[in-house]
Structure 1
Amino acid sequence: MTKAGFLYRNGLSLVFLTLFVITLFAQAFTGWKEHNQELQDEHVQELAFGSYLTTGHFISSTFENFQSEFLQMALYVLLTVGLRQQGSAESKSLDEAEEVDREPKPSKDAPGPVKKGGWLLKLYSNSLSITFFLLFFISWGFHLYGSWVDHNVEQQIKGKAAMSVLAYLGEPNFWFETFQNWQSEFLSVLSIVVLTIFLRQKGSPESKPVDAPHMQTGN
């Protein structure tokens, strides 16, 4: 194990965690301002920042993005098991065996489920895609809940009747929010799969070596 410091060994996750926290706060703050402007326009009392964080407006906008990201990663992890793209750094080799496909063997340093075998090993062998799909469904549920609550608040302000969550599922607004996020995630995956065929980034594990032929598949 490398003797490098904690920050060096965990720099990638720490940077993205920091960016996540900063942008989540920025989203919450600007969303609070926007929502209060909408309430002000309707002559409704504005909300304190803490109260805004429990509103459907904030919950919906937050988990609307989360669920599309988790869906993207779940499908990406699962589909790259069996599907190939010639020339892409994101694809497994077209005709050679890959290290990730070898059967797990118990060893002193292997994860616990590998040592135990059986159903635990089977579950652990698919744990990444399973976890991403669970996170997707949980986030999708929170997005639905937040969007539904926010819709009913708008209905109440306008003097209209509230809708049940089942009735709201038939409304185009929720699915418009959903599909506009899904399609952007699918486009981003398509972009890295195709662009890594022809373009390079020296030093990145997401790129082929700079001098690699375009049609070389994988790293």
Structure 2
Amino acid sequence: MPTSRFRRFLYENGLLLVTLVMILAALTGQILTGWHDNNDDLQQMGLAQLTLGQYLHSGHLLEATFENWESEFLQMGVYVVLTIWLRQKGSPESKKLEGEEDVDKDPDPGKADAPWPVRRGGGWLRLYQNSLSLVFFALFLGAMYLHARGGMAVYNIEQAHEGKLLVSTWGYMHTSRFWFESFQNWQSEFISIFSLVGLSIFLRQQASPQSKPVDAATSETGK
């Protein structure tokens, strides 16, 4: 176990820190390649190309970024909610088929380290009990709006170039293009849930909490 404060911080938060670096690296790659791709489109339409600074405020980047974030937040929100009631025999991603688990028990306001919403009770407790799924769905709706906002900007550039009518953000959300962009991402996220739950029944990964123990039987839940 690391002893220095800095090394202990890295040890205790390594998973979040590494994934944050991966996000920033991928986002940087997306920005640079998206900038060139968007300028290629603008050049074909005979329009002025954007500087990198201008691209950072463009609808193209906004749409591409939040189109993906939208589906990720939806995936996690749906996954959290579905695992409340649904079971999958043999998957460590599922609760046990029979019996009550710790997450099913009523919160105890008498615990010394209970969070303040638990001690407060009432509406604060009900909100806290569902805060994970509520935040995921709020983030999903926010990302969906920003996806539509960015998509509207890109769509209107194309519409203006062709001499057609421009649309509002709400109007863009009524186009088949917006929903095609959404559904193609949503189905990929649902596939990832299906794959994780299904493959974890039969396959193993040594030392990963997302896997059952290597010597566990296929029918065991891994709990």
| Match in the other structure for 1:84 | 87
| Match in the other structure for 1:155 | 159
Q: Is the 8 A contact 2:42 2:48 kept in 1?
A: yes
The equivalences for 1:33-52 within 5 A come to 33-52=36-55
Q: Is the 8 A contact 2:59 2:154 kept in 1?
A: yes
Letter in 2 for 1:167: G
| Match in the other structure for 1:11 | 14
Q: Percent identity?
A: 50
Cα distance, 1:125 vs. partner? 0.6
TM-score of the pair, normalised by structure 2:
0.94
The equivalences for 1:116-135 within 5 A come to 116-135=120-139
Cα distance, 1:143 vs. partner? 0.6
| Match in the other structure for 1:186 | 190
Q: Is the 8 A contact 2:216 2:222 kept in 1?
A: no
| Match in the other structure for 1:97 | 100
Instruction: Indicate whether 1:210 and 2:214 are aligned.
Output: yes
Q: Is the 8 A contact 2:213 2:222 kept in 1?
A: no
| Match in the other structure for 1:31 | 34
Q: Which stretch of structure 1 is more off in the superposition, 163-172 or 97-106?
A: 163-172
Name the CA distance, whole Å, in 2 between partners of 1:143 and 1:159: 24
Cα distance, 1:167 vs. partner? 3.3
Runs of 4+ aligned structure 1 residues displaced above 6 Å come to none
The alignment covers a number of residue pairs equal to 219
Cα distance, 1:51 vs. partner? 0.9
Letter in 1 for 2:169: V
| Match in the other structure for 2:201 | 197
| Match in the other structure for 1:145 | 149
| Structure 2 unaligned regions, length at least 5 | none
Residues 96-139 of structure 1 deviation map (CA, whole Å, 9 limit, x = unaligned): 21111111112222211111111111110110000000000000
Letter in 2 for 1:113: P
| Structure 1 unaligned regions, length at least 5 | none
TM-score of the pair, normalised by structure 1:
0.95
